[in-house]
Amino acid sequence: MSETQTPLHAQRVSQAHTQAPAQAPTQSQGREQVDRGDAAGASSSRDWFSHMFDALPHDVDIYEVGPRDGLQNEKTVLPVETKLAMIESLVDAGIRRIEITSFVNPRWIPALADHMEVATRLRRREGVRYSALVPNMRGLDSATRAGMDEIAIFMAASETHNRKNINKSTHKALETYAEVVREAMDRGMAVRGYVSCVYGCPYEDQVPYENVEYVSKALVDLGVYELSLGDTIGVGTPRQVAGILQGLLGAGLSYDQLAVHFHDTRGTALANTTVALQLGIRTIDSSLGGLGGCPYAPGASGNVATEDVVYLLDGMGIRSGVELDRLPAISVEIGAKLGRELPSKYTKAYVGACAKSGVPV
């Protein structure tokens, strides 16, 4: 193809390539280049380079939601034995916080109708915190009978999503949870809280920040020890994440009270996770293989994959205690049982590398 035939965008790309240095400068060359600059821009870029990772935590908690959020929307209902093996394998891989099921109405979430059997048959391990979703007093009583010592309550920052997902207004949900949290704490349980639809709602589209702050503060006032901010339909972008976190921290919530919960519907989950880490957040929700989605959030797809998050953390030198290379085998096995390949990019790459070198996953 002659120069005149080159499509415009290709010309731009090739020009950019010819103007770029043949090799990226080394760290010290880069520093020299910035140091030689005389404009304020040079010194501000030097500040940015030296500070952009300053707030990264050294350690984070992965809060695994695969057995609950991951499986709740699957048409294929996995046998109890498979769910138990999945949870055990995740714990073997180093997961120390895990949501194992939901004590919700099985007519609403048929895939988790076996909640009592899963929770009672599971062998609990020292040092692992097992939790389950609870929507009301009936759910709390079931969780108590099943021997749970931690539960998670959940509601949205959007009125319509609350009506569709838990059949209650925002006001009524808070009233219900006031009783649930009080009673759970009296029974010696820890209570986590979810605020979903923080970045957008499948029914209302935009969700005003004021709603997010209102529901978040109300749940913290009820006594939840940690609040997970859910991007239920995966629409959030990094600037929004920074804005929401800045708002809530400014409104009096502490770093220790906040966790992030991203869905990767539009491919922004890892970018959002990176920004949350840079802002000092230390609890990341994720789901094995990228399983997940809320049946009452049309169009929502999987959570950010645990193995993709652990790869990101390992690469940035942040400890999670999870052994990355034990995860793909679990993902592949659960995918096979569900009859599909799970979306995790790390697992795809790992499986490809194994196939190339002829070793089993």
Catalytic residues: 294
CA-CA distance, 79 to 93, in Å (whole number)?
21
Helix residue ranges, H only, the chain: 8-19, 27-36, 40-51, 80-92, 115-121, 137-145, 159-166, 170-186, 209-222, 238-250, 269-278, 306-315, 327-338, 345-357
Q: For residue 69, which phi and psi values (nearest 5 degrees)?
A: -60, -40
Note whether 74 binds Mg ion by CB under 5 A: no
Residue closer to ligand HMG, measured from CB, 166 or 312: 166
Residues 188/149, Cβ–Cβ less than 8 Å? yes
CA distance 322 to 309: 10
From the list Mg ion, ligand HMG, none, partner contacted by residue 199 (C-beta under 5 to 8 A by kind)? none
Separation CA 206–CA 337 (nearest Å): 37
Among 63, 130, 154, 346, binds ligand HMG (CB under 6 A): 154
Give me Rg for the CA atoms of the chain: 23
Q: Which of 51, 138, 171, 182 binds ligand HMG (CB under 6 A)?
A: 138
273 interface partner picked from Mg ion, ligand HMG, none, CB below 5 to 8 A per type: none
Closer residue to ligand HMG, CB minimum distance, 203 or 349: 203
Alpha-carbon gap, residue 78 to 33, rounded angstroms: 58
**Residue tagged 């240095």 (tokens):** 21
Query: Would you say 34 or 87 has its CB closer to Mg ion?
Result: 87
What is the distance, to the nearest Å, from the Cα of residue 251 to the centroid of all Cα atoms in its chain? 23
**Could you say whether residue 104 binds ligand HMG (CB under 6 A)?**
yes
Contacting residue, 71, 72, 100, 211, with ligand HMG by CB under 6 A: 72
Interacting span for Mg ion (CB under 5 A) from 26-34, 68-76, 105-113, 157-165? 68-76
Residues between 298 and 337 with contacts to ligand HMG, criterion CB under 6 A = none
Q: How far is the CB of 73 from Mg ion (least distance, A)?
A: 9
Binding residue for ligand HMG, selected from 66, 67, 70, 135, defined by CB under 6 A: 135
- Angle (deg, nearest 10), helices 170-186 and 137-145: 30
Please name which of 228, 199, 32 lies closest in space to residue 131, comparing C-alpha atoms.
228
Among 60, 61, 62, 69, binds Mg ion (CB under 5 A): 69
Binder among 103, 177, 199, 311 for ligand HMG (CB under 6 A)? 103
Q: Nearest residue by C-beta to ligand HMG?
A: 230
How big is the site for Mg ion, counted in residues (CB under 5 A)? 1
Contacting residues toward ligand HMG, per CB under 6 A: 69, 72, 102-105, 108-109, 135-136, 138-139, 154, 165-167, 194, 196, 230, 232, 261, 294, 296
